[in-house]
Amino acid sequence: MTQDVFLLLAVALLGVYTLAWTRRLALPWTELPVKTLAATVFAGAVVVAELTGQPVGAALRTAAVVVTTPFIAGPMLVMAVARGRRYAIADLIIQALYWTEAGRAAMRRVVVQAALQRGDADAALERLPADDDVAMRAQALAAKGAWQAVLDLPDGGEGDPRDLADGARVQALLALGRIDEAADLAAAMRARFERGPQRPIGYRSMTLAETRVDAERGNVRKVRETLGQPLVGVASDELYGLVARAVEVAGDRETATRIYQEAARAAPEGRRARYAERLEAWGERVPAASRPRRFGFATPALAAVLAAAYAGQAALDLSLGALVVGQMPMQPSSIAAAFGLGVAGFPFSDAWWRYLSYAFVHGGIIHIGFNVWVLLDLGRVYEARRGWGDLLAAFVVGTAMGAYLTSVAQAGDTLLLVGASGGVLGVAGALLADVVRSRDLHDRALTRSLVQWMVLITLLSLAIPNVSLWGHVGGVVGGMLWGFVRQGLPAWRGTGPVVGLLSIAVLAAVLTQVLWVVSALL
């Protein structure tokens, strides 16, 4: 399988996910889902043709990559940019990729949703059509504090839009002091939910509406009891705000102040003002906003080392060309660092360091690109939970176990193992071990996502030639072993740094051995 076919396979799989996502934003026959479907089918057709022995040619493969990638990755790129509050850039991407008003309106909903999550009501209102999206407009006006404008909006329709719009109306009625009307509307929302269908958004909207009414009546016990259960999709500052309001109405201003301060600390910039105004009116200190957790340094550093190693690999292979080892043509980088089984004349084939060195050579730009991408995606999560030392240890153990399990399961075969997939899957396995027994709702969702992703990787390893199934399985097994062992180690602050320094020492020794072999080849 060539690199461009492998990339098209990944694009087609991503397209299936994107298609399911975009169909929730627009009618099936409009531009957004139609373009996504066409791009997915095109990419999939080229992959099927190549895998069934009917090659389409390099020109068509390249054209497929160029044409399909923007329309499959575009919606998620817009979402990522909008979540970073780069709304103007998101608008430009939408203008470039979608040419009908229906297509652009569907993608603008993504930007509006991101703006509402950040509390940027003005940015959301600017992008909403005047005669559409009553539910989103109601939420944006509520975020802006335009309470009468919320009540002046028409009915939100049926299903989720009506639930969202009614939730905003409850907010508006409470803000205007019309508590009994708000309670009646919340009761109507519950009756509608119990009649069914019982959707997640309907449950969230109904629960929030009832909790807002309880908070406005000072029913602290009921508010805390309700919010004691996880409420998916509700920001932490809003939960703090509801509890604070209940405590305030109940007359405990000192406690309310502390909780409002927590809400202000957790709130995004767009919603922070509402808590700050309350605290300033009481003459209380407004705390600094909590800084979002950024990348730890180990994840990008490890990714940079892998990328630098690939650059060195490319330079070495280009300068020396293919060499022959035991009648097998082989790239110099593979001679220096790959893990080899059954290759006659392969130097240092039994050396300990080859169980790790293969992570620093790759089969091409797509191979290294995917590994770095997944490492950055999963590594930052695990590093944020456990620290830099644990991340490096998971990578080392996963890499070693990937080579070891390959040597056991494929003993007697002739093969070369290259790539950081074992180490990256070691990080994934360690993360899975960290969340699999958790009762936290977000951890449960992460567990499901990790398991689904690992099943997909296993199926691809079985279906695609020259992809190491046992290297991947070994990486996951090694990572999970490390994850469970790590949980059993003493809760000493120095444990992470110690295992991290040991991992760095081992990897440095491995790279020293590789450079020694490279110097001999030169």
**Rounded Cα distance, 265 and 282, in Å:** 17
* pLDDT digit string, tens, across residues 376-431: 989 988 998 889 999 999 999 999 999 999 999 988 888 889 999 999 999 999 99
Using pLDDT thresholds of 50, 70 and 90, give the confidence band for residue 442: low
Tell me which residue of 76, 256, 235 sits closest to 143, measured CA to CA. 235
pLDDT in tens, 237-252: 898 999 999 999 999 9
* Tokens 């072999």, located at residue: 517
| Cα dihedral sign, 119-123-125-127 | negative
Third-level CATH fold of 134-281: 1.25.40
Whether the Cβ atoms of residue 69 and residue 46 lie closer than 8 Å to each other = no
pLDDT on residue 438? 75
Domain locations in the chain as residue ranges: 3-113, 134-281, 298-521
pLDDT score of 22: 80
> 3-class SS at 323?
strand
Contacts of 408 (CB under 8 A, 6+ apart): 470
Instruction: Give Cβ neighbours of residue 261 (< 8 Å, ≥ 6 apart).
Output: 275, 279, 284, 285, 286, 287
Q: What percent of the chain has pLDDT over 90?
A: 45
Number of CB atoms found within 10 A of residue 497's CB: 14
Q: Which residue has 């500052």 as its token pair?
A: 237
- SS (HEC) of 18-87: HHHHHCCCCCCCCHHHHHHHHHHHHHHHHHHHHHCCCCCCHHHHHHHHHHHHHHHHHHHHHHHHHHCCCH
Say if domain 298-521 classifies as CATH 3.50.50.60. no
Average pLDDT over residues 57-76: 88
- Which tokens go with 341? 């089984």
Flag whether pLDDT at 365 surpasses 90: no
Specify the DSSP element, H or E, that contains 392: helix 388-409
Average pLDDT, the chain: 88
Look at residues 264, 406, 427, 288 and name the one whose alpha carbon lies nearest to residue 341.
406
How does pLDDT run across 136-178, given as a tens digit for each residue?
899 999 988 999 999 999 886 788 889 999 999 999 999 999 9
